[in-house]
């Protein structure tokens, strides 16, 4: 089985070196992954921090680090707001509080209420992650309960939970009742991020955890013998999809490390890591990453959705997070 630090080091050479307009979550996750790897291997790394500050500086400088004006365009949405998920980590490693203010500006775009904010009323599972990673970080860094409450309200709303099926799997959205692989991975990742940041005493936490475990149990029924998950979770004839497998693996590794999942999940996690790491090349290439996919009109459209092989920001960013989380778990053990 591949060493997670070795895999993460390969990935960090190829991902997390750009912040371009439009900012998008894949760029943010990769920048965060580089910061996490440096912190794990060397402690807070001045070289990595300076490198990432150089990457983000032209973009941040062109806007306002105080208000975030200029960061987002009128047509941007939740995937773009989540592109700043590195900001709190960079604030810690650099000691520059302006990055935290930038984070709060991005998180504020999700509100002020569910009705007024940008979260899709069609209940797209992508929003689970985009909202969780930003609102959760904003709550942790500010202590402002409105961030935590907005996130909890979204993930426990009857309309949201209506897209979780008795099998434990999530529809992509209300209008696309199909079990897309990366869609289910977005759901797993969103709940894992929520549980990372939401306080233990929050009244919604037990319900959120129960929903998350139900989903992971549903996913476990469809894990391939390779350790991977497929483009359509419950269709074994569809292709093995890397980004979904990395995101699900990250969610389980994070849960074990943080203590809301017990050791019975380690066998599933180890299979996932083995399958995903085997499909990461020494050149940073990733095998079988589904292209960007909005809600599709029928199941066949998901089945036939193309994938990329090679360098891929979606696959590489999530694989980097997964590798670092596996390394963190091993270090803690």
Q: What angle do CA 176, 177, 183 make, to 5 degrees?
A: 75
Cα gap 62→69, rounded to integer Å: 9
* Strand, coil or helix: 228: coil
Contact by Cβ (8 Å): 131, 190: yes
From residue 80, alpha-carbon distances to 29, 32, 109, 127 in Å are 12, 15, 10, 11
Q: What is the predicted pLDDT for the residue at 63? A: 60
Q: What is the predicted pLDDT for the residue at 262? A: 97
Cα gap 232→302, rounded to integer Å: 7
Can you list the domains of the chain with their CATH numbers? 4-332 (1.50.10.10)
Contact by Cβ (8 Å): 95, 50: no
pLDDT in single tens digits along all 333 residues of the chain: 899 999 999 999 999 999 988 899 999 999 999 999 999 998 666 699 999 999 998 777 766 545 555 788 888 999 999 999 999 999 999 999 989 999 999 999 999 999 999 999 999 999 999 999 999 999 999 999 999 999 999 999 999 999 999 999 999 999 999 999 999 999 999 999 999 999 999 999 999 999 999 999 999 999 999 999 999 999 999 999 999 999 999 999 999 999 999 999 999 999 999 999 999 999 999 999 999 999 999 999 999 999 999 999 999 999 999 999 999 999 987
Two tokens, residue 312: 């891929």
Q: Residue 231 pairs with which residues in a beta bridge?
A: none
Residue 269: burial class (beta carbons within 10 Å; 0-12, 13-18, 19+):
buried
Contact by Cβ (8 Å): 284, 15: yes
Length of the chain: 333
Contact by Cβ (8 Å): 58, 7: no
3-state secondary structure labels for all residues of 160-179: HHCCECCCCCECCECCECCC
Q: What is the predicted pLDDT for the residue at 64? A: 57
Residue-wise pLDDT for 61-111, tens only, equals 766 545 555 788 888 999 999 999 999 999 999 999 989 999 999 999 999
Q: What is the predicted pLDDT for the residue at 21? A: 85
Q: Which residue has the tokens 């990769």?
A: 30
Contact by Cβ (8 Å): 145, 198: no
Contact by Cβ (8 Å): 240, 226: yes
């Amino acid at each position: 089985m591949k060493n997670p630090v070795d895999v993460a080091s390969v990935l960090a050479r190829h991902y997390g070196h750009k912040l371009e307009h439009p900012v998008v979550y894949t760029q943010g996750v990769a920048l965060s992954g580089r910061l996490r790897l440096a912190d794990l291997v060397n402690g807070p790394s001045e070289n990595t921090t300076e490198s990432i500050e150089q990457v983000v500086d032209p973009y941040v400088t062109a806007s306002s680090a105080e208000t975030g004006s200029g960061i987002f365009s009128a047509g941007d949405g939740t995937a773009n707001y989540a592109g700043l998920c590195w900001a709190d980590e960079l604030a810690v490693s650099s000691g520059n509080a302006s990055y935290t203010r930038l984070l709060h500006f991005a998180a504020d775009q999700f509100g002020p209420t569910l009705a007024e904010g940008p979260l899709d009323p069609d209940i797209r599972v992508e929003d689970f992650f985009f909202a969780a990673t930003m609102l959760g970080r904003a709550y942790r860094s500010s202590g402002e309960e409105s961030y935590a409450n907005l996130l909890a309200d979204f993930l426990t709303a009857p309309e949201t939970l209506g897209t979780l099926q008795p099998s434990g799997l999530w529809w992509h959205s209300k209008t696309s009742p199909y079990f897309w692989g990366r869609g289910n991975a977005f759901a797993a990742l969103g709940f894992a991020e929520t549980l990372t940041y939401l306080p233990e005493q929050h009244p919604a936490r037990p319900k959120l955890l129960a929903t998350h475990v139900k989903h992971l149990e549903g996913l476990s029924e469809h894990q391939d013998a390779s350790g991977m998950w497929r483009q359509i979770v419950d269709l074994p004839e569809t292709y093995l999809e890397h980004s979904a497998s990395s995101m699900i693996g990250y969610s389980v590794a994070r849960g074990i490390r943080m203590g809301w999942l017990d050791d019975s999940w380690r066998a599933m996690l180890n299979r996932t890591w083995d399958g995903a790491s085997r499909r990461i090349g020494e050149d940073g290439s990733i095998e079988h990453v589904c292209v960007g996919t909005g809600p599709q009109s029928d199941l066949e459209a998901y089945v036939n959705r193309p994938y990329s092989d090679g360098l891929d920001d979606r696959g590489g960013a999530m694989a980097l997070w997964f590798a670092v989380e596996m390394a963190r778990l091993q270090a803690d053990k």
